[in-house]
């Protein structure tokens, strides 16, 4: 009599475990097909790149979505493959390297005697949005260092939105990457292409 009860409980346990379809998924931007403007003329100037900073709720590996006004959803099963600050810093370095610039992570720069430019990107929002798709906002700062003095020479506030071309997290990742490339194109056009001649 007890054997059928035990077999029934074990079968229910196995059915319950096998129907759990929640799997974690990880995403990353690809730099394989970066669409960048044509390479600039060779320059002796170096671009020192500060690590990208993300302020607030988006500063984590889980995807962040605004599901309605004043409501944030943190994904339980969808994550960036690495911290988004690292991913964005790496993509930025690849982007400017593709343009022909010598890009050095600021933390590795050491002491430099010649003039240099330093770029800092600070994000306030890096999330999915219930109405706007992927949103990206923050500020970028361009500094010039001469004779040991670091001077801010240009800064700009940015807000970018990209609608999703379909539902799902893969479309959100694609829209986020489009926003990031738009931002880097803007920085290149408005600041670096002029300053790094």
Q: Which domains are present in the chain? A: 22-195 (3.40.50.10610)
The tokens of 168 are what? 């799902």
120, 107 Cβ separation under 8 angstroms? no
Q: Looking at residue 178, what is its pLDDT?
A: 94
3-state secondary structure of 38: coil
pLDDT attached to residue 18: 47
Predicted local confidence at residue 19, as pLDDT:
47
Pairing of strands 149-162, 133-146: antiparallel
Q: From the first residue on, what is the mean pLDDT of each consecutive set of 10 residues in the chain (197 residues)?
A: 60 51 86 65 73 95 92 94 95 89 77 75 95 95 84 94 93 95 93 72
Confirm if 100 and 197 have CB atoms less than 8 A apart: no
Please report, for the chain, how many H helices and E strands are present, in that order: 4, 9
């Amino acid at each position: 009599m007890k054997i059928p009860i035990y077999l029934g409980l074990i079968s229910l346990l196995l059915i319950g475990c096998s129907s759990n379809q929640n799997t974690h998924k990880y995403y990353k931007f690809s730099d394989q097909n970066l669409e960048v403007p044509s390479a600039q003329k060779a320059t002796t100037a170096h671009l020192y790149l500060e690590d990208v900073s993300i302020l607030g709720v988006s500063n984590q590996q889980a995807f962040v979505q605004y599901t309605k006004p004043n409501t944030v959803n943190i994904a339980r099963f969808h994550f960036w493959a690495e911290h988004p600050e690292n991913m964005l810093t790496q993509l930025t370095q690849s982007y400017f390297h593709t343009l022909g610039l010598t890009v050095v992570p600021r933390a590795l720069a050491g002491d430099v005697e010649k003039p240099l430019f330093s770029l800092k990107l600070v994000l306030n929002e890096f999330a999915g949005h219930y109405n706007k798709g992927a949103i990206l906002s923050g500020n970028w700062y361009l500094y010039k260092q001469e004779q040991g003095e670091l001077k801010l020479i240009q800064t700009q506030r940015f807000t970018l939105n990209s609608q999703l071309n379909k539902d799902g997290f893969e479309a959100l990742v694609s829209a986020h990457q489009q926003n990031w490339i738009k931002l880097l194109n803007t920085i290149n056009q408005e600041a670096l292409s002029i300053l790094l001649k």
